Amino acid sequence: MNQLTTEETRRIVLDASVLRARYQYEDAIRLIQKNIESFDPNLKLKGYLEMFYSSRDGGDHEFAKKVAKLIAKDDPKLPPIQDYLKE
């Protein structure tokens, strides 16, 4: 897979955010999942965060917990994920 440019990565994260705002949570998650391995490494955390918010907002708390654990590898103190790291 080719790495996406910073601009391409930002566009995908923004598109996923728009999908989430339209309550299209699964579409937002799929968009990030499909592209995350090609993201600009400096923006992968933003992609994981968008996937976390979409799964959380969509009610898929098990998946949100899995994504929170991925996010915690980069930033364990990030406030939005704290409730999902307990247990």
CA dihedral sign, ordered 46, 48, 50, 53: negative
Domain of 46, CATH number, reads 1.25.40
**Mean pLDDT over residues 44-68, rounded?**
97
**Mean pLDDT over residues 51-73, rounded?**
97
Is 1 inside a domain boundary?
A: no
Residue 67 belongs to domain spanning: 6-85
DSSP readout, the chain?
-PPPPHHHHHHHHHHHHHHHHTT-HHHHHHHHHHHGGGS-GGGHHHHHHHHHHHHHHTT-HHHHHHHHHHHHHH-TT-GGGHHHH--
Is 17 inside a domain boundary?
A: yes
Is 56 inside a domain boundary?
A: yes
Is 70 inside a domain boundary?
A: yes
- In this predicted model, what pLDDT tens digit does every residue of 20-49 receive, in sequence order? 999 999 999 999 999 999 999 999 999 999
- If one counts the domains in the chain, the total is 1
Kindly report the pTM of this predicted structure.
0.93
Q: Cβ distance 68 to 85 under 8 Å?
A: yes
